[in-house]
Structure 1
Amino acid sequence: MGNSGGSLTTRSTGELHQLIRAAGFTGIEDTETLAEGWQVTDFADAGRRSLVNLVQSTKTPAVMVSFVDSDVGFVEAVTPDGSSWEGLLNREMAESYEIPLEHFPVEPAVTGALAWSAAAGLTPDEQAIRQTLTGSALFAEELASALLVALGIPDAT
């Protein structure tokens, strides 16, 4: 059985685990520190407004990927001004779960990802973003990592 939790990527100058718990995330695991204050934290579950709550408290953009058995990733990203976008990773596998792909159109996700990246002060790679949102991989986590790189998050691998 694969990963059914998620990963959260944000910047924080405070105690990130405290902020994540206060926002409604549970089962918080290790945090990987990247460059320029970016951090990636795995979690078991998140409430419906957890991502928005976290962004409001930290006043920094964040992107979250929720995994379904390591096969599919649901992407949500929010900026402090309330802008957001959603995407789907591993679309081919998502079809086998009968996830309606039409609920996750690629072009609005690419546009949203570019705007999110710019709001975060990053330099995105549009072609790479599109590839992660349309590509397939054995594990959705591979595409999630590639998405972080495509968004321009420093030291993401």
Structure 2
Amino acid sequence: MGNSGGSLTTRSTGELHQLMRAVGFTGMDDTEALAENWQVTEFAEAGPRSLANFVRRTGTPAVMVCFHDSDVGFIEALTPDGGSWEGLLNREMAESYEIPLEHFPLEPAVAGALAWSAAAGLTPDEEAIRHTLTGSALFAEELSSALMVALGVPGARI
């Protein structure tokens, strides 16, 4: 059985686990420091408004990917000014779970990812974002890592 938790990628100078706990994330695991104060933390569960509360409380952009058995990744991203987007990783596998792909249209996800990245002060790679959102991998976590690189998150690697 694969991972059914998630990951949160954000820029933070505070104690990330404490901040995440305060807004409803549970089971925080490893935090990896990337570059320029960007970090990624794994978690077991997130409450229904955990990401929105986190972004509002910290004033920083964040991307959350929730994994379904390491097969599919559900992306939600927010900026402090209210910009948001959603996406899906491993679309082929999502179809086998009968997840309705029409709920995760590609073009709005690409446009949202580009806008999120720009609002976060990053330099995205549109082609790489599109490839990540349409690609497939054995583990959705691989696509999540590739997405962070495509969004231009400093220090992110595949």
Q: TM-score of the superposition, structure 1-length normalised?
A: 0.99
Q: Secondary structure at the match of 1:60?
A: coil
CA–CA distance in structure 2, aligned partners of residues 30 and 104 of structure 1: 29
CA–CA distance in structure 1, aligned partners of residues 88 and 130 of structure 2: 11
Deviation at residue 94 of structure 1 after TM alignment: 0.1
Residue in 2 aligned with 1:110?
A: 110
1:132 aligns with 2:152: no
CA–CA distance in structure 2, aligned partners of residues 145 and 31 of structure 1: 14
CA–CA distance in structure 2, aligned partners of residues 119 and 149 of structure 1: 16
CA–CA distance in structure 2, aligned partners of residues 32 and 57 of structure 1: 21
1:54 aligns with 2:48: no
Residue in 1 aligned with 2:120?
A: 120
Deviation at residue 15 of structure 1 after TM alignment: 1.1
Can you give the 5+ residue segments of structure 1 that lack an aligned partner in the other structure?
A: none
CA–CA distance in structure 1, aligned partners of residues 82 and 47 of structure 2: 17
Residue in 1 aligned with 2:14?
A: 14
Q: Deviations over 1:99-155 (max 9, x none)?
A: 000000000000000000000000000000000100000000000000000000011
Deviation at residue 13 of structure 1 after TM alignment: 1.2
Residue in 1 aligned with 2:5?
A: 5
Moved more, 12-21 or 97-106: 12-21
CA–CA distance in structure 2, aligned partners of residues 45 and 108 of structure 1: 26
Residue in 1 aligned with 2:99?
A: 99
Which amino acid in structure 1 is aligned with residue 105 of structure 2? P
Which amino acid in structure 1 is aligned with residue 16 of structure 2? L
Which amino acid in structure 2 is aligned with residue 15 of structure 1? E
Q: Deviations over 1:43-64 (max 9, x none)?
A: 0000110000000111000000
Which amino acid in structure 2 is aligned with residue 38 of structure 1? W
Deviation at residue 96 of structure 1 after TM alignment: 0.5
Deviation at residue 83 of structure 1 after TM alignment: 1.1
CA–CA distance in structure 2, aligned partners of residues 94 and 101 of structure 1: 8
Deviation at residue 14 of structure 1 after TM alignment: 1.1
Q: TM-score of the superposition, structure 2-length normalised?
A: 0.99
- Name the Cα RMSD after superposition: 0.4
Which amino acid in structure 1 is aligned with residue 143 of structure 2? L
Can you give the 5+ residue segments of structure 2 that lack an aligned partner in the other structure?
A: none
Which amino acid in structure 1 is aligned with residue 116 of structure 2? W
1:33 aligns with 2:40: no
CA–CA distance in structure 2, aligned partners of residues 31 and 13 of structure 1: 13
Percent of matched pairs sharing the same residue:
82
Q: Deviations over 1:39-95 (max 9, x none)?
A: 000000001100000001110000000000000000000000111000000000000
